[in-house]
Structure 1
Amino acid sequence: SGVGASLITDGSPDGATTGGAPLEWGHLTVQVRGRRCRCGALGCLEAYTGAESLLARWAERGGGGDSVAGDEEDALAALLAAAGDGDPIALDVLDETAEYLGAGLSDVINLFQPERILIGGWAGLMLGPHILPAVREHATRYSLRHPAARVTIDMGSLGPDAVTVGAATLPLAAFFTTGGRRTPPEPTTEAPGWQTSLQTRGGSAARRG
């Protein structure tokens, strides 16, 4: 229900051929002196786009009733259903969430100039079909023109278990990186020619002595 990100590049910090660098993207400040985030700071992106915050804002404006107090997934489904029925409070909360999410993505676009952004997670997959066009629009509006023109923003295709699947690949990646050994072999380095020559001469001199 929080907001995180992984930057996928051709290389990874641990030396594997592919990998993702975790980013605390959800704790980017998007509103100075804004809402209190669960991390303790004010104005974090997560305080406006995380499922917990989204439901809290819906309740603060008089929406949701008892549904907000239940399971987060059920409560979010109730909010989306209310928006589908034209409830103005639910629609306003979704519109606001889409703008903050788009603004947050613009920072990623301007900083890293990615080719593709995928939105996932259980909350992202539920919200995406309802707010993705608006998110794209706001991300483009808040981004620099050149990096915004080369990026696509889509929904992830790994489903709600993407985190679990990703975690399961880590030991496999380590296995292939080390060639199946428990510890990587020490690299063999050949001594330079001058050092070998000196050692040979030193040994010959000692034998002559």
Structure 2
Amino acid sequence: ERWREAGGRPPEGADEETALTAMLAAAYPADTATPPDATALAVLEETAEFLGAGFADLINLFQPERILVGGWAGLQLGARFLETVTGYAREYALRYPASRTGIGLGTLGPEAVTVGAALLPLVDFFAQGGRRPETEPTPPSPAWQTALRDRVSS
């Protein structure tokens, strides 16, 4: 959308992924005789700076050891722009936390969040030694407690 607002020409009716692919192709044409689209290059540079500034905020606030870029957009942009984004993040972040934070591309692919969520039950299971937690059997409540609970909730 930003490319269109700046005067670029994404394909009509294209979804976000297709439009991003078209913008990258316009900025870095495969045919060396075709000049790069200056608008696409400017939007991509601006995006890299915005991402770097956002990462700097994360670094300053949370001081993470690592930031991984993923998802379909991150993986498309990451290979070409990760170094630029990292440069902006280091420029805008506080020096000490920035020096202790690594920024890289995720390796789980565009479905990283889904894969991570699917692993959570397994992590919990293995943290318990591969056994279900043992639960103490609870004796039934006396009848007077049940009657009292029913009256209070009514």
Give TM-score scaled by structure 1 length.
Answer: 0.57
2:24 matched residue in structure 1: 80
Q: Is the contact made by 1:58 and 1:93 (CA closer than 8 Å) also made in structure 2?
A: yes
Q: Using the alignment, how far apart are the partners of 1:109 and 1:164 within structure 2?
A: 25
What per-residue deviation string (whole Å, max 9, x for no partner) do you get for residues 130-150 of structure 1?
A: 211110111011101111112
1:117 matched residue in structure 2: 67
In structure 2, stretches of 5+ residues that fail to align are: 30-35, 137-154
CA 1:184–1:126 in structure 2 vs 1: closer, same or farther (change >3 Å)? farther
Of 114, 125, 134, which residue of structure 2 is paired with 1:175?
Answer: 125
Q: Using the alignment, how far apart are the partners of 1:148 and 1:177 within structure 2?
A: 32
- Taking the TM superposition and a 5 Å limit, the aligned residue runs for 1:101-112 are 101-112=51-62
Q: Using the alignment, how far apart are the partners of 2:65 and 2:120 within structure 1?
A: 24
User: 1:68 deviation in Å?
Assistant: 5.3
Q: Is the contact made by 1:59 and 1:68 (CA closer than 8 Å) also made in structure 2?
A: no
Using the aligned pairs only, state the percent identity: 59
Secondary structure in 1 matching 2:122: helix
- Taking the TM superposition and a 5 Å limit, the aligned residue runs for 1:92-103 are 92-103=42-53
What per-residue deviation string (whole Å, max 9, x for no partner) do you get for residues 149-171 of structure 1?
A: 12121111111221221122122
Q: Using the alignment, how far apart are the partners of 2:12 and 2:54 within structure 1?
A: 25
What per-residue deviation string (whole Å, max 9, x for no partner) do you get for residues 161-193 of structure 1?
A: 212211221221233345543x6535xxxxxxx
Secondary structure in 1 matching 2:135: coil
CA 1:157–1:69 in structure 2 vs 1: closer, same or farther (change >3 Å)? same
1:141 matched residue in structure 2: 91
In structure 1, stretches of 5+ residues that fail to align are: 1-55, 187-209
1:58 matched residue in structure 2: 3
Secondary structure in 2 matching 1:157: coil
Secondary structure in 2 matching 1:139: helix
Q: Which has the higher helix share?
A: 2
Q: Using the alignment, how far apart are the partners of 1:159 and 1:68 within structure 2?
A: 27
CA 1:92–1:184 in structure 2 vs 1: closer, same or farther (change >3 Å)? farther
Secondary structure in 2 matching 1:69: coil
In the alignment, structure 1 residue 151 sits paired with structure 2 residue 95: no
Give TM-score scaled by structure 2 length.
Answer: 0.75
* AA of the residue aligned to 1:154: G
